[in-house]
Copies of this chain bind each other. A is one copy, B any other.
């Protein structure tokens, strides 16, 4: 894309994820060679302009000023890179038709409701440019379901970020069986060019990969608190001082490949497969609504109160820098 054409992105839905995407795109727009950014937010809340002015500074250290002569327009200038900044624009537009009419990328993070999403995409499809990429940030409603009423179902793909997307590298890219290879390729390419780590799933599946893995571990963690083996805080401490830092550098398969020494993961399972199976046989099988909730909620609330996510995000950047140090 030449420097003279701005990159036009439209975000549908300005909640936590939406504003974090705003931060991500404006951060990237000041990197060398990046095109000028024209980012449109479409959201139905009536106080949207005020809300953005109040909330966005928690995500991005920037000067935000009204842009004269651009309806709903704001100038966003990142404070730490002012000399490299150019005129990147944020536009707030409560009219869906005009909000998507010129976009080359349209990403929705609206309500997590199949009814909302299946109704949205036919309207978007009707008014957006024919080659615009159409992405859903959903964590649970597949592109198969979302595209039900679209004329061209090959256009839609899930691009599920990890929260908050302006910090976390992962994007789970989940096509439906209808999604075209070209849409997959362009989607993967865009996120790589943003410095993100898009991972392409081969099949649609409930919860995708990241949340399925997290919830499997969470189930065992709840079981251990429930059984009185360890407190909420002690389980978190175990994670922060062993598995977390280990998996920040090498995922479970790579870790057990290392754990088996020269014999790799096969040697690991030969050595310790009996213990692994014993733990699986004995694994917790808690379910929602079985009465463990109160203990977990109370212990967690007492341990942490309201978590300072700004500090967490600053630490996350440091950890990610360390995990990527000395190449990979």
Q: Which residues of A does B touch, CB under 8 Å? A: 16, 139-140, 162-163, 168-170, 172, 197, 199-203, 205-207, 209-221, 224, 227-230, 232-254, 256-259, 261-262, 264-266, 269, 272-280, 282-284, 287-288, 293, 296-297, 299-301, 303-304, 306-307, 309, 311-312, 314-316, 318-323, 325-326
B264 pairs with A306, CB closer than 8 A: yes
Q: List 30 A-B contacts (CB under 8 A).
A: A168-B241, A197-B237, A201-B234, A203-B227, A206-B275, A207-B279, A210-B238, A210-B243, A212-B220, A214-B252, A215-B280, A218-B256, A232-B253, A239-B252, A240-B323, A244-B244, A244-B246, A244-B323, A245-B248, A249-B319, A250-B312, A257-B300, A257-B301, A262-B306, A264-B301, A264-B306, A265-B300, A274-B288, A280-B287, A315-B322
A221 pairs with B253, CB closer than 8 A: yes
Not counting A219-B283, A232-B253, A315-B326, a sample of 14 additional A-B residue pairs whose C-beta atoms are within 8 angstroms of each other reads A172-B238, A206-B282, A217-B252, A221-B252, A233-B253, A240-B249, A245-B319, A247-B248, A249-B312, A249-B319, A254-B303, A257-B301, A269-B297, A311-B326
CB-CB under 8 A from A244, the residues of chain B are 244-249, 251, 323
A218 pairs with B276, CB closer than 8 A: yes
A315 pairs with B323, CB closer than 8 A: yes
Closest 3 CB pairs of A and B: A236-B251, A318-B322, A244-B247
Shortest distance in angstroms between A7's beta carbon and chain B's nearest beta carbon? 24
CB-CB under 8 A from A214, the residues of chain B are 217, 243, 252
The A interface is mostly helix, strand or loop, or mixed, namely helix
Residue of B nearest to A197 (CB): B241
Residue of B nearest to A327 (CB): B311
Contacts A259-B163, A326-B315 given; does A296 touch B253 at CB 8 Å = yes
Residue of B nearest to A200 (CB): B234
Instruction: Report which of B163, B220, B315 forms a contact with A249, defined as CB distance below 8 A.
Output: B315
Bound-state Cα–Cα, A175 to B245, Å: 26
Residue of B nearest to A259 (CB): B163
CB-CB under 8 A from A243, the residues of chain B are 210, 213-214, 247
CB-CB under 8 A from A227, the residues of chain B are 203, 205
Shortest distance in angstroms between A251's beta carbon and chain B's nearest beta carbon? 3
